[in-house]
Amino acid sequence: MVRERELAKPLIGVLAVQGAFAEHVLGLERVGADSRLVRQPTDLEGLDGLVIPGGESTTLGLLGARTGLLDAVQRTLAGGLPVFGTCAGMIMLADETTGGPQPLIGGLDICVRRNAFGRQVASFEADVELTPFPEAPFPGVFIRAPWAERVGPGVEILASRGGHAIAARTDVALVTAFHPELTDDLRVHDLFLRMVREAGAHDSVGASPVHRKEGERVRAQ
């Protein structure tokens, strides 16, 4: 008999304050997760993972600080909830940036440079060699992308460009300077889902999927 936990889909929150959250929702659903838009602190309850999308990191930080969402996310992640940040999400999860003070979530031992590859007009696409995917490069979409100037000893670098880290992870955190949600390649979202399942198997997250309402799903609107 298959256990209920094996039948349940992980519930992944997607921060929906600003940025490319709708594309992440679609990607998560395609790899087998349910999703919930996170716009207020109560939306964090019962999640198995959280995605912080690309967008404008200063705007994300200021809006999150004003609503109390930033503090709530910090508390939730401190409890071991797996998190995936892309572009601005990578900046928000860094412990520090090179561009002066701004509201950050923090928790990942990296120092990030904003707009490291240039402004909007310098956006580009390039293949990325990601260590978890030796079979083929990943199609990287770089839009005002950051890079990591410094990576702490507990953080694994997954990809670099020009001598700087553009993807990294710990057991419960995954960040990319590029936008996997803007491609049809689902390998990075699938990697995060595997991290969520591994964390849940070791009881390092809060509520498991079996403790929420069956079939809960909220689509981007």
* Catalytic residue IDs: 87, 179, 181
Residue with tokens 């919930």: 36
Helix (H) or strand (E) holding 95, with range, is strand 94-97
Bridge partners of residue 173, in order along the sequence? 83
Determine the 3-state secondary structure of 24 from DSSP. Answer: helix
Rounded Cα distance between 75 and 59, Å, is: 20
Q: Which residues of 18-37 are buried (b: 16+ CB within 10 A; e: fewer)?
A: bbbbbbbbebbbebebbbbb
- Cβ(175)–Cβ(89) under 8 Å? yes
Structure token digits, residue 40 = 């207020």
Please spell the DSSP secondary structure of 148-211, one letter per residue.
Answer: EEEE-TT-EEEEEETTEEEEEE-SSEEEESS-GGGSS--HHHHHHHHHHHHHHHTT-SSS-GGG
